[in-house]
Each structure stands twice: as C-alpha cells, then as structure tokens.
Amino acid sequence: MSTETNKTIELVIKRQADPNSAPYEEKFTIPYRPNMNVISALMEIRRNPVNAEGGDTTPVAWDASCLEEVCGACSMVINGKPRQSCTALIDKLEQPIKLEPMNTFPVMRDLTVDRSRMFDSLKRVKAWVPIDGTYDLGPGPRMPEAKRQWAYELSKCMTCGVCLQACPNVNSKSEFIGPAALSQVRLFNAHPTGAMHKAERLQTLMDGEGGLANCGNSQNCVEACPKGIPLTTSIAALNRETTLQSFKNFFGTDNTA
C-alpha cells in the first residue's frame, strides 16, 4: 500500500505561451493514482501547477470535452503518436510520458491547436446533406442495408485531426485537404439526397491544389484513426469515381449522378 502511495508519474510537456512564442519543454512529477488517463494527469497539473523542479508555473492548456472518445477534441501527440488523450491510460504508457501538440495545425497555446484547416476542408467539399429546412420534405429515400452499414462506418469520424497529423502530405507547404475530408466526400456522395451534389464534390477533388492527387498513399491515416475508419478504402473508391467523372466531363454526359 505504501509503495503505491509513493508512486509518481513523470511527464515532459512541450509548451508554448502563444502562437508567436518559441516552444519549450517543461517536466512535471505528479502523484500516481490507479486508472488514470492523460487527461486526469493534466487535471492534476492544473490543480497544482508546480513543475518537477518545484517551481510555480502556469497550468497547461489543452482541449477536452466528452472524455469518452466521441468529440475528438483532446487529440495530441503522446509518446510520438497522435491519439486521443482521454483513452490513453497512464499504466499503458512508457515514462516519462511526452506530450506534444499536433504540429500539423497552428499551435495556439501548449497542447491546444487551431483545427480550422480541417473544418475549412469539410466546407470546401460540402460535407453535408443539402436540404431546405424551412418546410416539411416528408420521409426521405431509404438506403439499402448493406450500403447503410458501410456508410455508418464512415460516419464515425469525429474530426479529431489525428489522421491529418499522421499524414506526411498534410503540412504547411501543402494544400492537401487530408483523409478525413476525402472520406466524408465518399460518405455524402453515397447518401440518396447528398448524391445530388456528387459531381460538384468530385470536381472539387479534381481541381486545383489540395485534392485527391496530393495523396501519397502512405496509409498512415488508417493506422492512426482511433475509430478504425477505412480511410484508404475511401480514397481508392474516390480515385475510381473521379476517373469516371473525368470521362463524364469529357463526353458532356449528365454530371448530376
């Protein structure tokens, strides 16, 4: 009992005061408790912001909401791998535990990043079902059960950004929209109502910088995805769809389907 009471957790956190400040590392040693995750460790530092040298410091900034791997807000790099900190259990992590922000995105403060790039990509591909909600449209068309089942797998995306962090083609020198937005194109193109904008979404992936051609097929995204979404399968399917769309454009056939 006394041995467990005296146990501690060592963390090395990459910190940054604001977007224009230089990053630095700060070490923390906190008391161990059974069943802790990374979020509870950060909460302990917030409760008592003292670093490993015993000096007073500022609480570490991070994002979190649901704490059950649904919202995607608590993404960060833990021991070199991008993942959700709410499901990263202390007992399963090698110490010292190194926490870093996802540097694919601009760092706002400490472990908090600005994921606007990802949300802008979703806007760019119109990742929604466009309907006029001002009147009753009645029951919508039904999807075959087999199609609904794989579409549900794609709908698990929680815009956590982990796949973008893992992808070597998503960086400050590239406009690549990333695997999350690509997979959402496949999801909404499969929807009976969303398919009305299928040609427009595919054309977005074919035009200009940042589209499907920027994918290097490293397959890091599907390995990193905390929801196990078949991202590379979606990308392969979109390669076929955009090829077909290019033929439709060339021959001037109907682009609405």
User: Percent of the chain, pLDDT > 90?
Assistant: 83
pLDDT digits (tens, 9 = 90+) for 230-247: 999 999 999 999 999 999
Handedness of CA 52, 56, 61, 62 (dihedral sign): positive
The residue type of 33 is R
pLDDT digits (tens, 9 = 90+) for 61-100: 999 999 999 999 999 999 999 999 999 999 999 999 999 9
More confident residue, 209 or 37: 37
Longest CA–CA span in the chain (Å) reads 78
Please report the pLDDT score of residue 143 as a whole number: 87
Give the H/E segment covering residue 11. Answer: strand 8-15
Q: State the CB neighbour count (10 A cutoff) for residue 20.
A: 6
Please report the pLDDT score of residue 208 as a whole number: 75
The residue type of 139 is P
Please report the pLDDT score of residue 3 as a whole number: 53
The residue type of 244 is L
Please report the pLDDT score of residue 31 as a whole number: 96
Please report the pLDDT score of residue 2 as a whole number: 44
Pick the CATH number of 116-251 from 1.10.1060.10, 3.30.200.20, 1.20.1260.10, 3.40.50.1820: 1.10.1060.10
Token readout for 26 is: 């700060």
pLDDT digits (tens, 9 = 90+) for 154-207: 999 999 999 999 999 999 899 999 999 999 999 999 999 899 899 999 999 998
Residue 41 to residue 108: CA distance in whole angstroms: 21
Give the H/E segment covering residue 256. Answer: none
Token readout for 10 is: 């060592």
Span 25-45, average pLDDT? 97
Span 138-145, average pLDDT? 83
Q: Where do the domains of the chain lie?
A: 2-112, 116-251
Pick the CATH number of 2-112 from 3.10.20.30, 3.40.50.300, 3.80.10.10, 3.40.30.10: 3.10.20.30
Q: Same CATH fold, 116-251 and 2-112?
A: no
